[in-house]
């Protein structure tokens, strides 16, 4: 199957600093990538849809100025958590679909564990 790689796998940062998470599709082009957040013992919640060459679409309740998304190429999307606070500590996961056609399998990155201290 297709490979989606996230970096870093884990990060610890101080409160008030910003953290960038990268999501790369290694062997296919992804015009659309999705960013999810997962708190312990909970399901994945969609944060935003990242579209190559255009602005991301954010879900209700997700602050676009706090979670900056950039999708500058067909293989890379980045999520920057700005002015991170302890409540932003979570598991962040990206996914990408191989094609632009409907109902295709979504491939997930290995996730990034963010801890804000």
Partner 1 sequence: GENVGLHLPTLSVQEGDNSIINCAYSNSASDYFIWYKQESGKGPQFIIDIRSNMDKRQGQRVTVLLNKTVKHLSLQIAATQPGDSAVYFCAENISTGRRALTFGSGTRLQVQP
Helix (H) or strand (E) holding 52: none
Site for partner 1 in 43-72 (CB under 8 A): 43-46, 49, 57
Indicate the residue among 4 and 79 with the shorter CB distance to partner 1.
4
Structural contact between residues 4 and 98, judged by C-beta atoms closer than 8 angstroms: no
Q: Is residue 70 within 8 Å of residue 78, measured between CB atoms?
A: yes
Tokens representing 20?
């960038």
Q: CA 71, CA 30: separation in Å to the nearest integer? A: 10
Residue 28 contacts partner 1 per CB under 8 A: no
Tell me the closest approach of the beta carbon of residue 14 to partner 1, in angstroms: 19
Q: Which residues bind partner 1 (CB under 8 A)?
A: 1, 4, 6, 32, 34, 36, 39-46, 49, 57, 87, 91, 93, 95, 97, 102-111, 113
């Amino acid at each position: 199957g297709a490979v989606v790689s996230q970096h870093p796998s884990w990060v610890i940062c101080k409160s008030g600093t910003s953290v960038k998470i990268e999501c790369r599709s290694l062997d296919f082009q992804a015009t659309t990538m999705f960013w999810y957040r997962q708190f312990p013992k909970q399901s994945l919640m969609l944060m935003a849809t990242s579209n190559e060459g255009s602005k991301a679409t954010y879900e209700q309740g997700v602050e676009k100025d706090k979670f900056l998304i950039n999708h500058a190429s067909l293989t890379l999307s980045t999520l920057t958590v700005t002015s991170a606070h302890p409540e932003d500590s979570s598991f962040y996961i990206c996914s990408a679909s191989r094609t632009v056609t409907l109902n295709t399998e979504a491939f997930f990155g290995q996730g990034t564990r963010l801890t804000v201290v």
